[in-house]
Amino acid sequence: MKLSTVAFLTLLMLLAMPNQAHAYLDPGTGSQVFQILIAVFVGAGFTAKIYWKKIKDLFRPGSGESDE
């Protein structure tokens, strides 16, 4: 897509949005967002733990050379 097309569609969407939203946020919403953030960090840590040797080898000098 051309930049002008993207800019036009973005402007159109911004103009179509209402200025005020009369919405209700449940008090538990903040807690749910916090739990999602914790889950993301724990999942990233667990993934890093699983692939730790491969990650270390990426930054080790001469990792692409064979041991022969």
Q: Is residue 1 part of a domain?
A: no
Q: Is residue 21 part of a domain?
A: no
Sign of CA dihedral 10, 11, 15, 16: negative
Give the pLDDT confidence score for residue 45 in this predicted structure: 93
Q: Is residue 20 part of a domain?
A: no
Residue of 56 and 64 predicted with greater confidence: 56
Domain around 57: 27-62
Q: Is residue 2 part of a domain?
A: no
| DSSP code of residue 27 | T
Q: Report the pLDDT averaged over residues 11-22.
A: 83
Q: Is residue 36 part of a domain?
A: yes
How many domains does one find in the chain? 1
Q: Report how far residue 13's alpha carbon sits from residue 50's, in angstroms, rounded to the nearest whole number.
A: 43
